[in-house]
Structure 1
Amino acid sequence: MSIAGGVAHAPSRVTRTAILGAIGLIFAIPIVAMVEFTLRKGLDGGHDFSRWTTLFESGFAGPYRSVLTALGNSLALAIGTVAIVLLLLVPTMLLVHIRFPQLRRALEFICILPITIPAIVLVVGLAPVYAVMARLFGSGVWTLAFAYGITVLPFAYRAIQSNIDGVDVKTLTEAARTLGASWLSVLVHVLVPNLRRGILAGAFIAVAVVLGEFTIASLLNRINLQTALVVVSKTDPYTAVILSLLALIFAFGLLLLIGKLGSGPRVRSVKGTT
């Protein structure tokens, strides 16, 4: 039931502002502390931007070149993980929702299960598999995409499933099939556009998890962004914090981009219409 165009029992504007302000403050405190740490001049006291300017003037050369390589590895892993998860998960979820609804609980259990398994236990189970993969296909960093696909599965599933529950997928599919559309056309031209927000949310969560993952890459001796930052922090903790801040800025920009893509085109109002 709505009241005056709003939702019944919805919090007031002041309450919403206070809640968002408190949450923003919780997230802002550690970020501000990181920025202040990178600006310290050391034992002399005071603050300056010398470490920031030195890092950018050097062009990430020397000991920091490995960070650029690790960032490229993480971005490639993020793309590979998103492709693996979405190309396998989205069609499977739609097939179960449309044709085999009795299997939804089993699929949900399988997709949520990885969140209950610690990363170190997951690595112990995957180590023999990766030993075989290394002999057959090599031990490149790209192989981590399969392990990351398992770790992001619970988050991507919930994001996409919530969107599927809000769309009448069966009616859209039956209407498209009645008009002669193939299953591929139904998936690409009918269902995916209606599930755009859930798919983009799942993709962003997958990217965020991959960019912040350390345990699996470290135990499997692969180089990604987080393992490279740990190596840099042992020699220059200030630069490691600067690079962490840049990674946060990149993730925030990616969130804004995905949010813009997920909002879709706005419908303009026409004067004189009712």
Structure 2
Amino acid sequence: MAVSETSQTVKVPATATSAKGAADTSAAKPPQLRAARVRKQSVIKFVILFVTLAFLFIPLFSMLVFTLRHPLSGRWSLAPWVAIFTGNGESLGADLTVLWQGLGTSLALCVVTVVIMLLLMVPTMVIVHIRSKVLERAIEWVATLPLTIPAIVLVVGLGPIYRWLSADVLSTNPIWLCFAYVILVMPFAFRAIAVGLNSIDVKTLVEASRSLGASWPKVFFRVIIPNLWQSILSASFISIAVVLGEYTVASLLGRMNLQVALYQLGQSNSQISTAMSLLALLFGVVLLVALDLISDRVRKSKEGK
């Protein structure tokens, strides 16, 4: 009995030691596996990022090369860019008057479209968000409907309306394209503003403000709008980008904007047209980067408070 008890007492520490070694080995493996998994994920992320950036930037780089290298002679020159920044394209056989006219019209359309969109969308969405969820879903369906309708179909429907407006009510000035552009930007503006409304407790803010004696205009302009201005800014920037890149509606309705001007300019000098297209794309990128920087600054200022 004593011998067996002694053997048992000797075997127990051996078993405990082997179990501890196995535990140490298993504990040593997970960090190695995690490191290998992290390396594999980093490689996959790099490949995906590289392919995405190549897909985006190779066409832009090709456009830049096309503006610098003459397609027939192969001569490298900055003449198209100089013509744009100096406003003189006669040496290249291009009349830049059409370009400046289209650019001015598009910038004016951006301002008018954004103003109409904000006046139409923001009050409506705030009121419906407070009062009725059923109407909010109905408005969401109506606002996102232009995404499912091709622009050429919209033109077919808007053509008779614009003929009547041009002949009997308004003129043929391209600025009246703003009504059609409000329809085009409505889905993007709705989604941006809806994100802002869903991120704050609008009903609680309204009830608290009203209980303190604030009138409805004060509640709207001094309570709700300051909490939504970031979403309003997002909706405005996205609308500007859409208006600057729109071609189908203006072309089929016979109106002049930036994209139509670029198309007409491309008939005489494609290099200047391509260079101006690159500048328009760069302007859109600057808008999006500015929106991101403003959003980060606002978030940091709120966190600091």
Superposed CA offset, 1:223-243 (max 9, x none): 000000000011111111011
Residue 24 of structure 1 is matched in structure 2 by 53
Separation of aligned partners in 2, 1:83 and 1:151: 14
Residue 47 of structure 1 is matched in structure 2 by 76
Larger radius of gyration: 2
Instruction: Select 1:177's aligned residue among 187, 196, 210.
Output: 210
For structure 1, which segment, 165-174 or 15-24, has the greater mean C-alpha deviation from structure 2 after superposition? Answer: 15-24
Instruction: Select 1:238's aligned residue among 246, 254, 271.
Output: 271
Separation of aligned partners in 2, 1:81 and 1:34: 30
Instruction: Select 1:125's aligned residue among 154, 157, 160.
Output: 157
- Displacement of 1:113 in angstroms is 1.0
Instruction: Select 2:301's aligned residue among 252, 267, 273.
Output: 267
Residue 34 of structure 1 is matched in structure 2 by 63
Q: Does 1:225 align with 2:258?
A: yes
How high is the sequence identity, in percent, across the aligned residues?
43
Q: Secondary structure at the match of 2:77?
A: coil
Please tell me the residue identity of whatever aligns with 1:115.
L
Provide closer, same or farther for how the CA distance between residues 157 and 15 of structure 1 changes in structure 2, counting only shifts above 3 A: farther
- Displacement of 1:192 in angstroms is 1.4
Instruction: Select 1:74's aligned residue among 103, 106, 112.
Output: 106
Residue 6 of structure 1 is matched in structure 2 by none
Please tell me the residue identity of whatever aligns with 2:210.
R
For structure 1, which segment, 199-208 or 252-261, has the greater mean C-alpha deviation from structure 2 after superposition? Answer: 252-261
- Displacement of 1:182 in angstroms is 1.5
Residue 3 of structure 1 is matched in structure 2 by none
Provide closer, same or farther for how the CA distance between residues 126 and 143 of structure 1 changes in structure 2, counting only shifts above 3 A: same
Separation of aligned partners in 2, 1:119 and 1:269: 43
- Displacement of 1:44 in angstroms is 3.4
- Displacement of 1:20 in angstroms is 4.2
Separation of aligned partners in 2, 1:27 and 1:190: 41
Separation of aligned partners in 1, 2:303 and 2:180: 47
CA RMSD of aligned residues (A): 2.4
Residue 103 of structure 1 is matched in structure 2 by 135
Please tell me the residue identity of whatever aligns with 2:225.
V
In proportion to residue count, which structure has more helix? 2
Instruction: Select 1:65's aligned residue among 91, 97, 100.
Output: 97
| Equivalent pair of 1:200/1:262 in contact (CA under 8 Å) | no
Separation of aligned partners in 1, 2:66 and 2:95: 21
| Equivalent pair of 1:144/1:217 in contact (CA under 8 Å) | yes
For structure 1, which segment, 190-199 or 26-35, has the greater mean C-alpha deviation from structure 2 after superposition? Answer: 190-199
- Displacement of 1:141 in angstroms is 1.1
| Equivalent pair of 1:60/1:68 in contact (CA under 8 Å) | no
| Equivalent pair of 2:193/2:235 in contact (CA under 8 Å) | yes
Q: What TM-score do you get using the length of structure 2 for normalisation?
A: 0.78
Separation of aligned partners in 1, 2:55 and 2:282: 17
- Displacement of 1:24 in angstroms is 2.6
Residue 19 of structure 2 is matched in structure 1 by none
Residue 5 of structure 1 is matched in structure 2 by none
| Equivalent pair of 2:87/2:96 in contact (CA under 8 Å) | no
Please tell me the residue identity of whatever aligns with 1:261.
I
Q: What TM-score do you get using the length of structure 1 for normalisation?
A: 0.87
Instruction: Select 1:205's aligned residue among 238, 248, 257.
Output: 238
| Equivalent pair of 2:109/2:175 in contact (CA under 8 Å) | yes
- Displacement of 1:19 in angstroms is 4.3
Please tell me the residue identity of whatever aligns with 2:52.
I
- Displacement of 1:257 in angstroms is 2.7
Q: Secondary structure at the match of 1:152?
A: helix
Structure 2: 5+ residue stretches without partners = 1-39
